[in-house]
Amino acid sequence: VYLLFQGLRQISQRTISTASRRQFENRVPEKQKLFQEDNGIPVHLKGGVMDALLYRVTMGLAVFG
């Protein structure tokens, strides 16, 4: 039990220490421009192909479900 606890503690410490070193680029302003653009596309489809696919699958499940 003690060895298991030690291993979990080491993994958690490693995960926390490596996560703090990563630097992520702030993409919020470019996403805001994309979603605020008035181009006639509904907001739930402005994310691209994956949004359209997810929308169609959801509608299909709702109709056939």
For 10-21, write each residue's pLDDT tens digit: 777 765 555 556
Compute φ and ψ for 7, nearest 5 degrees: -65, -45
d(CA 63, CA 23): 43
CB atoms < 10 A from the CB of 18, how many? 9
Range of the domain at 45: 40-64
d(CA 44, CA 55): 8
- φ, ψ at 46 (rounded to 5°): -70, -10
Q: What is the mean pLDDT of residues 3-27?
A: 73
Residue 21, in any domain of the structure:
no
If one counts the domains in the chain, the total is 1
Judge whether 22 lies within some domain: no
Cα three-residue angle 31-35-42, rounded to 5 degrees: 145
**Residue at 6 is within a domain:** no
pTM beyond 0.85: the answer is: no
